[in-house]
Amino acid sequence: MRTMGTMPSGLSDSHIEVQALAREFAAAEIAPHAADWNARKHVPVDLLRRMGEIGLLAPTIPEQYGGPGLDATSLCLVVEEVARADAGTAVAIAVQAGLVASPLLRAGTDAQREQWLPRLATGEVLGCYALTEPDAGSDTAALRTRAVPDGDGWRITGAKQWISNGALAGVFVIFARTGGEGAGGISAFITRAGDGLAVGREIPKLGLHTSSTVELAFDDMPVAAGCMLGPEGEGLKLALATLDGGRITVAAQACGIAQAAIDLAVSYASARNAFGGPIARFQGVQFPIADVAAELEAARLLTLHAAALRDAGKPHGAAGAKAKLVASAVAVKAADVAVQTLGGYGYSGEYDAERLYRDAKITEIYEGTSQIQRLVIARDLFGDAAR
């Protein structure tokens, strides 16, 4: 049983059409294979390219660069529907559109956009966003990867960690220190792989087994002239602005996981008979599911509100933080409710509940932990008094 949830008001006909396309594609092409792909830790690259062909891999890339030219709201709708079928597959969309195409559109030169955006739109190349380091996660200003001038170009040395799509990427958005310590010394680059790049092991993860996550090591990797993304020293500003939008996408992913958990719990409780009838007739079963269904609607509305602010060109950092904070908590809670509803079956690999349980947790961690979201919200409320 796949429940639909309440359709938020304010969605345009275009939004509803792209949501329907994503829902149909995910139900037909992803959901039937998700359990097998996760069990084998298989990243469905061919499927990602098919998504590119129909405009679902990077929906926000403008038409002039070969993309559908859709808005942030559409991106959220696509990510939620794909995450509902498989959260790991949704990561590729969030990275391609939110972490690679977005900073390229924000800060790229015409030449950089023309070189990469058409290929990102179709899935000809996949991209990755290399910001996090072993000693610089939430404290992004502490990153140590360094870029030094080399003729007209640069050479990059350092290490990155937890890089989604890193093993598959044909283009890399890399943040490196070109100046002194602190935020002002960081610049961004967009480049293909070069000599001196080593792609490390796949990092074993609790969930998201259909997503590639690796370490990257740069040993004097050459970067050609014209690959700096935005002005020198403005890299951290670009990184944080990118994450402001990325948090909205993660919130949408969390909503998809929560919706899948509710779907499963409702279906199982309606079919499972005990004590003379379906367990769905017991309030002890009904009420936890009802609670998370209500909380999911709130999370979805927060997510779409933040996306609408982004689409309108208005400040959306705090709104995105609120959406991610609430939606990630709902995803974790809904997955827990699904496991509890299914009982022993919820703990086994025979049903999707345990996968949803494992996948949900990351939404409270990446692109800013829940603690960081609270910090963003608090600073919006208190201003300088919170610093």
Show which residues are catalytic: 367
CA distance 176 to 150: 15
Place of tokens 């275009």: 14
CA distance 152 to 224: 7
What is the SS3 assignment for 136? strand
Angle at 217 between CA 87 and CA 119, to 5 degrees: 55
The answer to whether 254 and 370 are in contact (CB under 8 A) is: no
Residues whose CB falls within 8 Å of the CB of residue 275, separated by 6 or more in sequence, listed in order: none
| Residue 280: how many other CB atoms lie within 10 Å | 18
AA letter at 368: G
For 88-131, the three-class secondary structure string (H helix, E strand, C coil) is HHHHHHHHHHHHHHHHHHHHCCHHHHHHHHHHHHHCCCCEEEEC
CA distance 25 to 77: 13
Pairing of strands 127-130, 171-177: parallel
Residues whose CB falls within 8 Å of the CB of residue 285, separated by 6 or more in sequence, listed in order: 269, 279, 341
